[in-house]
Amino acid sequence: MVQLSSNDTHSKAVGYLLWIFGFTGAHRFYYGKPVTGTIWFFTFGLFFIGWLIDLFLIPSMDRQADLRFQAGPTNYTVAWVLLTFLGVFGLHRMYMGKWLTGLLYLLTGGLFLIGVLYDFWTLNDQISMKHSRREIFSH
């Protein structure tokens, strides 16, 4: 019998959905791999070869993300969907309770897109740290 992880932070279904646009590195950013996500972005998924190989690597990337990032009340997938499609409006930051910077993003186009790029690199860690702090203060 397969036991489900209590720390299931990322979704394989979303990973595969983002893989469709994977030549932009979207699925790699989602799974917490910003360096290779950036490489995929600038090389069209390593000239589509890396993108094709990732089709088979998504299950292991999902497991690694589930082990690396702390589960909690903020849903990683919701935050990533908001960042990917509405990042310039700051909705992902508002969702995480970062209202001030969310409003700043709203008024400045995601802080002139530099803030959105920063969040692509750090969103998983931001959420995981938020969950870790919550756990520390709840004990």
Spans of all domains in the chain: 11-68, 70-139
Residue 24: pLDDT band with limits 50, 70, 90 = confident
Q: Is a pLDDT exceeding 90 seen at residue 3?
A: no
The region of weakest confidence among 43-52, 64-73, 129-138 is 129-138
* pLDDT score at 1: 41
* pLDDT score at 138: 66
d(CA 99, CA 80) in angstroms, rounded, equals 17
Output the pTM of the full model: 0.86
d(CA 57, CA 50) in angstroms, rounded, equals 10
d(CA 37, CA 136) in angstroms, rounded, equals 31
Greatest CA span in the chain, whole angstroms? 51
Q: Is a pLDDT exceeding 50 seen at residue 5?
A: no
Q: Is a pLDDT exceeding 70 seen at residue 6?
A: no
Mean pLDDT of 129-136: 85
CB 82 within 8 A of CB 96: no
- Sign for the CA dihedral angle at 49, 51, 57, 63 comes to positive
* pLDDT score at 134: 78
Q: Is a pLDDT exceeding 60 seen at residue 116?
A: yes
Backbone angles phi, psi at 100, to 5 degrees: -65, -50
99-101-107 Cα angle (round to 5): 105
Cβ atoms < 10 Å from Cβ of 84: 19
